[in-house]
C-alpha cells in the first residue's frame, strides 16, 4: 500500500462506504510523513493515542456518503 487512497480503498472493503469517506482520516494519519517520509512516520500517529486524537478532530462518528455512519475510532483502529 503506501498511498492514502489505497488505504481508503482497504477501509471501504472492510467497513463499506466509498473511499472519499475515509480519505481525510488516512490523510490525517499520514501527515506525519512531512517530518519523516519513511516507516518511522507511523510512530507519531499510528497508535492508540493517535486514534483518540483522530476522534477529537473528526468526531466519534463520521457520516458516509452512502448514508452509513461509521465509528472513527473503530475503523481507525484497524487501519
Q: Where are the beta strands (DSSP E) in the chain?
A: 61-63, 69-71
- The grid coordinates listed for 34 are 512531512
Q: What pLDDT shows up at residue 67?
A: 45
Q: pLDDT per residue over 5-47, tens digit each?
A: 998 999 888 888 889 888 998 898 888 888 887 877 778 787 8
Task: Please tell me whether residue 47 adopts helix, strand or coil conformation.
Answer: coil
C-alpha cell read off for 30 = 499520514
Amino acid at each position: 500500500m503506501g498511498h492514502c487512497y489505497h488505504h481508503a480503498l482497504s477501509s471501504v472493503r472492510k467497513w463499506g462506504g466509498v473511499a472519499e469517506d475515509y480519505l481525510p482520516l488516512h490523510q490525517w494519519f499520514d501527515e506525519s510523513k512531512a517530518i519523516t517520509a519513511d516507516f518511522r512516520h507511523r510512530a507519531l500517529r499510528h497508535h492508540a493515542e493517535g486514534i483518540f486524537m483522530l476522534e477529537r478532530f473528526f468526531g466519534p462518528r463520521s457520516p458516509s456518503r452512502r448514508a452509513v455512519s461509521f465509528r472513527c475510532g473503530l475503523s481507525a483502529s484497524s487501519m
